[in-house]
């Protein structure tokens, strides 16, 4: 008889949470499901979010704030730079920013 991989249950906090219980929320979800979605007017701050960050070539509104801060102080940065532990080594992550001209190991800085 061939045995399959050993089953290991997830830790409790990843499968069940003592403060969340779907039976308690079901009436609220059912109530929401009966009503048509409602459009709400845009609120202050809605427009300067993910789309503006994407247009600027960064990954989030917070990164956009940092980019604007760098620009305000004349710091030239490269955005979304692939990095690794060694020159010519594997890429293991992506840095949000790299100060232009610095020698951080990256896919682009290999000799």
Please tell me the pTM assigned to this model. 0.50
Does residue 89 contact residue 79 with C-beta atoms inside 8 Å? no
Does residue 83 contact residue 108 with C-beta atoms inside 8 Å? no
The stretches of 1-111 forming alpha helices (DSSP H) are 12-15, 22-34, 50-56, 61-72
List the helix and strand counts (H, then E) for the chain.
Answer: 4, 2
Domain map of the chain by residue range? Answer: 50-99
Distance between CA atoms of 57 and 36, rounded to whole angstroms? 36
| Residue labelled with tokens 């409790």 | 12
Confidence (pLDDT) at 68: 94
Confidence (pLDDT) at 18: 61
Confidence (pLDDT) at 1: 47
Backbone region of residue 57 per phi and psi (left: phi > 0; alpha: psi in -120 to 50; beta: other values) = left
Confidence (pLDDT) at 103: 67
Residues of the chain with pLDDT under 70: 1-20, 42-48, 103-111
């Amino acid at each position: 008889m061939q045995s399959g991989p050993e089953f290991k249950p997830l830790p409790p906090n990843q499968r069940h949470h003592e403060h969340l219980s779907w039976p308690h929320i079901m009436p609220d979800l059912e109530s929401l499901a009966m009503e048509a979605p409602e459009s709400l007017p845009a609120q202050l701050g809605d427009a300067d979010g993910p789309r503006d960050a994407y247009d600027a070539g960064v990954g989030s509104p917070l990164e956009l704030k940092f980019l604007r801060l760098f620009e305000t102080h004349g710091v030239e940065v490269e955005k979304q730079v692939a990095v690794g532990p060694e020159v010519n080594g594997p890429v293991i992550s992506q840095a949000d920013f790299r100060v232009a001209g610095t020698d951080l190991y990256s896919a682009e800085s290999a000799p």
